[in-house]
Structure 1
Amino acid sequence: MRVPFADQGLNKIPEQVSDRQALFVGDVLATGYWATRISEIKEEDTVLIIGAGPTGICTLLCVMLQKPKRIIMCEKDEHRIEFIHEHYPEVLTVTPEECKNFVLENSDHGGADVVFEVAGVPSTFQLAWQCARPNAIVTIVALYDEPQVLPLPDMYGKNLIFKTGGVDGCDCEKTLQLIAEGKINTEPLITHTYPLSKIAQGYDLFENKRDGVIKVAIEC
């Protein structure tokens, strides 16, 4: 297959990186790395990530590279919470209903210093700025089905910085290098594998979120 300008848009996978290890580099891992890079995380920060799906977990992996003081994951799905506890035991978890109070109790400045909104529903959009401390950074990673509204009178005095936009793939070479060095490992996200002949079953499983699925890989 001929790919015009492939030298500008593709990256060679290092020999020590398997296809499964590289599977998310141009997708959810690129999103997590981009979001982390623009969020100006410092080592003394409390970081809140709302949403522990594949993109949220990839964001977590990239946030962990910055070594903030604490990381909190907000998630309603009990299987995903169990996944976080199993693979990243140092990360605190909380449900959306308890998130605001939990963040206040587990932060040093009246809220999270950096918030990632990865879930993508109106309630989590509101939760993101509510859990942020004054002068925090709120990074919108999620995509929404409809426009979201900033209730500026309610936010008065928070002086928040919102960052959002479309993810770019400019850091794929860097993330491949981090995978090769063992600093990022996305393989645990692949909870189910199907052959190409059963791809419909894989889609059905993922769409209906059965059997604790995080990500499905299809092998040819």
Structure 2
Amino acid sequence: MIVSDETASSALSTILVAHAGGQADRHRAIWAYDARLARVARTTSERAIGQMRLAWWNDVIADAAGVKGQGEPVVDALRDSGGMAAPGLVSMIDGWEVLVVDPEIDADGLRDYAVGRGGGLFRALADSDDAPDWLMACGEVWALWDLSGHVGDAGLADAAVDMARTILPRTDGARWPRAWKPLRLAFGLARHDVLAGVKAPAGLPRGHALRLLRLGLFGR
């Protein structure tokens, strides 16, 4: 279902990590983890095999001894940076699993994907066990926007943008701590396109890079 060989996050995350300060290594590892789950969804042709690959990641996260997966670059980066303890990692697996399991995603599937991948990702990056609803909603909007630019089904892309627009009111109470600046930038980029009814681009074109710069400098 995912047709591009990378999510927009692979280009975007490089810029966002630069705004993460002392948390840069942890943010970089979490973005790499998201990209690895995306690869599972992108390259899986048999549902059972995809679920087994995702279950392996569940086992890695649950391994308190820190043994399973040693030598795998993303696993090592998560452990070395402290990212393995981030809340939301399992939820991200649940979100990506929707794309592995459902050949045709309906509204409920889109919602589950957004809550799992997007809400889990933003909670992990914020390192917040008790993330406010508005932050989860921002993550959901971002994940739906990102998906819209990387699926071959135009109807699904439009549905993702439409659903993201319905979630936007839940983000109205956002109050961004300085440490959450990378998340604010990611959400701000997605929000602009969602309000305009525009799907995510492939990669990070010049216009979006300039918009990120403006968001970083002026907050809008």
TM-score by structure 2 length? 0.29
Greater per-residue helix proportion = 2
Identify the structure with the greater strand proportion: 1
